[in-house]
C-alpha cells in the first residue's frame, strides 16, 4: 500500500474546520480530541477512534490488476493478453498525515485494534487525568476494584456478585487505587471468532494470534505455539527492523535541524542584506535629493540671469524708443507747423540729435534665449559617494556650426570600415561638451538609392560622435549627416569607394640586408644591391633609396596600397625577407 497514492476517482471526506491534525498524545483521538474509544491502528501507525473513522467520507479506488498468464510456457510471450480486471476498493485518508488507507472487506471495524492505546487510556483514567472508568459488566457504575484473574474492572455491586458466584469466588480482587503503580492494566484480548476465548497462541503459518478453539478448528495441523514461546523470535525481527529504521530517524532529525539552522541563518542574512539595501537606498535618495535641489537652484540662477539680461535690454530699448519718438514727433511738428525761419533756426539742433540717434546700435532680437534643457543621462559627478546623473544645459546645438572631421570623409574601400567624427557646436561656435543630441546619418549608393548602407553612430558623451559604416561595393556614395533634421556644415557630401585595399606581401624595412638577416639571395623592389654578391639593397650602397620602404613594391608610405603585380618574371626572393 502506497501512502502517497491518490484516488483515481471518488470523493474525499473533509475534516471539520478547526480540527487538530497533529499527534494529540497516546490517549486522545486527533479528531474528537477525547479519550480513545475502540481505537483502530491505521497502516500509517496513527490511531483514531472507530466512530471517528466511520464518520470520514470514503472514496472509491480502482485497483487495476492484469489477468492471469502462464509464464512457464516458452511461447507465453506470444499468447493473447487478457484485459485487466477492475477491482473497486473503498479507502479513506488518515486524518493526521493524509495517507491513503485501503479498508479491508469488513470496513473500519476490520482494522487492527490498538490495545496499547486502550491500556494507556485506562492508566490515564486510573490516575485521575481522564474520565472515570465504568464497570466492564454493567457499564453503568464507576469502577472500584479489579479482578486480577479475569482482568475485569468491576463496580462495588458487580464485585460482590462476582464473589458470590462459585466459579469466581476465589478470584483475587484488588482496589483500583492500588493499581496506580502498574504499567499495564488492560483487559485480556479475546478472539474475534470465539469471544469467550482469550488469544494465547500464535499460528506461524497464518502469522497471527489464535485461541484454543481456533487451533482445533480452522488452524488444525497449523504450526502453533504459545505467544510467550514465539515472542522472542518475532520480537527480535521487529527489533532488527527498528534498528535499521532508527538511523533514518536520527538522519532526518539532523537534516531538519540543519534546515532549521539554515533557515535562521537565511533569515539573519536576509535582514542584514535588507539593512544594507535600506542604508544604500536612504543614502542614494539623500544624494539624489541633494542633487535635485542643486539642479533646481542652478535652474533658478539661470532664470534670474536671463531675466536680468532681458530686463536690462528692455529698459535700454524702451529708453531708445522714447528718445526716437521724441525726436520724430518734434521734427514732424517742426516741419508741419514751423515757419521757414523757425525751421532754419532749429535745423542744427534737430539734425545733430537725429544723426546721433541714428548712429545708436541696438539689437532687434532678444539678447538671451529660452533654450534650457535637462539631460537625465548625463553624468553629474558624485554626491556623498554616489554617482548621480542629470545636468541642466543652456547650450543648443547649431547644425550650421557643426563640423565633420576624419581621413575617411571622401574616400573609402569596399568591405572595409570607414569612419569620421562629428563635432557638435552651439551658435557661438563653442563645443557642446555633452552628448544626447539626435544625430541621423545616411550613406546612400548613387546607383542604388533604395539600398542604404548600415551606419553606426556612437555618442562619445563629450559633444563628439563617432560615425562608421562599411560599403559593400565600390562606387560613389552620398553621405547625409543631420541634427534635428537639419544638415550639418558640409552635408551632404560624396565619398568615392574604391576596390579593396591590396595589402603588402613584403616587409617595410630599412634595407634588405637588415630585414633578411644578411641573406645574399634576398632582393628588394627598390633595385639596390651590395658588393660581395648581395642581390638586395643596403645602407649607403648602390640603388638604396635612403629611407624605409616596402620590399615588395618599393613604396615609401607604410600605410599604402601595394602596387606589386606579382608577375612570373619577378624574383620570388623579393618576398623572403623578415622583419627583425
List strands edge to edge, sheet with 152-154.
152-154, 145-147, 173-175
When pLDDT is cut at 50, 70 and 90, the band that residue 308 belongs to is: very high
* Full set of structural domains in the chain with CATH: 229-358 (no CATH), 395-498 (2.60.40.10), 503-560 (no CATH)
pLDDT over 90 (residue 69): no
Provide the pLDDT for residue 37. Answer: 82
Provide the pLDDT for residue 317. Answer: 93
Range scoring the smallest mean pLDDT among 133-142, 475-484, 494-503: 133-142
The residue-averaged pLDDT of 361-385 equals: 85
| Residue 111 three-state SS | coil
Provide the pLDDT for residue 572. Answer: 42
The residues near 108 (Cβ < 8 Å, ≥ 6 apart) are 40, 50, 53, 54, 92
Provide the pLDDT for residue 64. Answer: 45
Question: pLDDT tens digits, residue range 93-146?
Answer: 998 888 888 888 888 888 888 888 877 887 777 666 445 567 878 877 877 888
pLDDT over 70 (residue 195): yes
When pLDDT is cut at 50, 70 and 90, the band that residue 466 belongs to is: very high
Range scoring the smallest mean pLDDT among 27-41, 53-67, 410-424: 53-67
Give me the long-range contacts of 288-294 (CB less than 8 A, separation at least 24): 288/383, 288/386, 288/388, 290/383, 290/384, 291/380, 291/383, 291/388, 291/390
Question: pLDDT tens digits, residue range 149-169?
Answer: 777 788 888 988 888 888 888
What distance in Å separates the CA atoms of residue 555 and residue 508, rounded to the nearest whole number? Answer: 9
The residue-averaged pLDDT of 426-441 equals: 84
Provide the pLDDT for residue 174. Answer: 84
Residues 48, 112 contacting (CB under 8 angstroms): no
Question: In terms of DSSP bridges, do strands 403-405 and 418-423 run parallel, antiparallel, or are they unpaired?
Answer: antiparallel
When pLDDT is cut at 50, 70 and 90, the band that residue 4 belongs to is: very low
Residues 414, 472 contacting (CB under 8 angstroms): yes
Question: pLDDT tens digits, residue range 199-217?
Answer: 889 999 998 899 998 998 8
What distance in Å separates the CA atoms of residue 64 and residue 436, rounded to the nearest whole number? Answer: 73
Provide the pLDDT for residue 408. Answer: 79
Range scoring the smallest mean pLDDT among 18-27, 268-277, 372-381, 523-532: 18-27
Most confident of the ranges 169-183, 325-339, 491-505: 325-339
| Residue 486 three-state SS | strand
pLDDT over 70 (residue 79): no
Provide the pLDDT for residue 575. Answer: 43
The residues near 30 (Cβ < 8 Å, ≥ 6 apart) are 19, 20, 21, 22, 23, 24, 46, 48, 95, 96
Which residues share a beta bridge with 28? Answer: 35
When pLDDT is cut at 50, 70 and 90, the band that residue 462 belongs to is: confident
What average pLDDT does the structure give for the chain? 82
pLDDT over 80 (residue 78): no
Above pLDDT 90, what percent of the chain? 30
The residue-averaged pLDDT of 58-70 equals: 55
Range scoring the smallest mean pLDDT among 17-21, 113-117, 346-350, 369-373: 17-21
Amino acid at each position: 500500500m502506497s501512502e502517497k497514492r491518490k484516488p483515481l476517482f471518488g470523493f474525499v471526506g473533509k475534516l471539520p474546520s478547526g480540527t487538530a491534525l497533529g499527534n494529540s498524545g497516546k490517549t486522545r483521538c486527533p479528531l474528537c480530541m477525547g479519550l480513545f474509544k475502540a481505537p483502530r491502528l491505521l497502516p500509517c501507525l496513527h490511531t483514531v477512534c472507530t466512530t471517528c473513522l466511520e464518520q470520514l467520507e470514503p472514496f472509491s479506488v480502482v485497483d487495476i490488476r492484469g489477468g492471469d498468464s502462464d509464464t512457464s510456457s516458452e511461447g507465453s510471450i506470444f499468447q493473447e493478453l487478457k484485459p485487466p480486471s477492475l477491482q473497486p476498493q473503498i479507502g479513506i485518508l488518515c486524518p493526521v498525515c493524509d495517507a491513503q488507507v485501503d479498508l479491508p472487506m469488513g470496513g473500519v471495524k476490520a482494522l487492527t485494534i490498538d490495545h496499547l492505546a486502550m491500556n494507556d487510556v485506562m492508566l490515564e483514567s486510573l490516575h485521575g487525568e481522564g474520565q472515570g472508568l465504568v464497570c466492564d459488566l454493567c457499564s453503568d457504575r464507576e469502577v472500584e476494584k479489579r479482578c486480577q484473574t479475569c482482568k475485569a474492572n468491576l463496580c462495588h455491586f458487580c464485585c460482590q456478585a462476582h464473589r458470590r458466584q462459585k466459579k469466581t469466588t476465589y478470584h483475587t480482587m484488588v482496589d483500583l487505587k492500588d493499581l496506580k503503580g502498574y504499567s499495564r492494566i488492560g483487559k485480556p484480548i479475546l478472539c474475534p471468532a470465539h469471544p469467550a476465548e482469550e488469544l494465547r497462541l500464535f499460528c506461524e503459518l497464518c502469522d497471527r494470534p489464535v485461541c484454543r478453539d481456533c487451533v482445533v478448528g480452522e488452524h488444525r495441523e497449523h504450526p502453533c505455539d504459545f505467544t510467550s514461546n514465539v515472542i522472542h523470535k518475532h520480537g527480535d525481527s521487529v527489533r532488527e527492523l527498528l534498528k535499521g529504521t532508527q538511523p533514518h530517524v536520527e538522519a532526518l532529525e539532523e537534516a531538519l535541524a540543519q534546515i532549521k539552522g539554515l533557515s535562521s541563518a537565511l533569515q539573519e542574512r536576509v535582514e542584514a542584506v535588507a539593512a544594507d539595501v535600506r542604508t544604500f537606498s536612504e543614502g542614494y535618495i539623500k544624494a539624489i535629493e541633494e542633487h535635485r535641489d542643486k539642479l533646481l537652484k542652478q535652474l533658478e540662477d539661470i532664470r534670474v540671469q536671463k531675466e536680468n539680461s532681458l530686463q536690462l535690454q528692455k529698459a535700454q530699448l524702451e529708453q531708445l524708443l522714447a528718445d526716437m519718438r521724441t525726436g520724430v514727433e518734434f521734427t514732424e511738428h517742426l516741419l508741419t507747423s514751423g515757419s521757414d525761419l523757425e525751421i532754419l533756426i532749429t535745423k542744427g539742433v534737430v539734425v545733430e540729435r537725429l544723426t546721433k540717434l541714428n548712429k545708436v546700435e541696438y539689437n532687434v532680437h532678444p539678447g538671451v534665449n529660452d533654450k534650457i534643457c535637462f539631460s537625465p543621462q548625463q553624468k553629474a559627478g558624485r554626491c556623498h559617494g554616489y554617482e548621480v546623473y542629470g545636468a541642466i544645459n543652456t547650450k543648443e546645438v547649431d547644425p550650421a556650426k557643426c563640423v565633420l572631421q576624419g581621413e575617411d570623409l571622401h574616400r573609402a574601400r569596399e568591405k572595409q570600415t570607414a569612419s569620421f567624427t562629428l563635432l557638435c557646436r552651439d551658435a557661438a561656435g563653442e563645443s557642446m561638451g555633452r552628448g544626447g543630441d539626435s544625430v541621423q546619418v545616411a550613406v546612400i549608393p548613387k546607383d542604388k538609392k533604395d539600398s542604404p548602407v548600415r551606419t553606426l553612430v556612437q555618442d562619445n558623451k563629450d559633444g563628439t560622435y563617432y560615425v562608421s559604416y562599411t560599403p559593400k561595393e565600390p562606387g560613389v556614395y552620398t553621405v547625409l549627416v543631420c541634427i534635428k533634421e537639419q544638415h550639418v556644415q558640409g552635408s551632404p557630401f560624396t565619398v568615392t569607394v574604391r576596390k579593396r585595399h591590396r595589402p603588402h606581401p613584403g616587409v617595410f624595412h630599412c634595407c634588405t640586408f637588415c630585414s633578411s638577416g644578411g641573406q645574399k639571395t634576398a632582393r628588394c623592389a627598390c633595385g639596390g644591391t651590395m658588393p660581395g654578391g648581395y642581390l638586395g639593397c643596403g645602407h649607403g650602397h648602390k640603388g638604396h633609396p635612403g629611407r624605409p620602404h616596402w620590399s615588395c613594391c618599393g613604396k615609401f608610405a607604410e600605410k599604402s596600397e601595394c602596387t606589386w603585380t606579382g608577375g612570373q618574371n619577378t624574383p620570388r626572393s623579393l618576398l623572403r625577407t623578415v622583419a627583425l
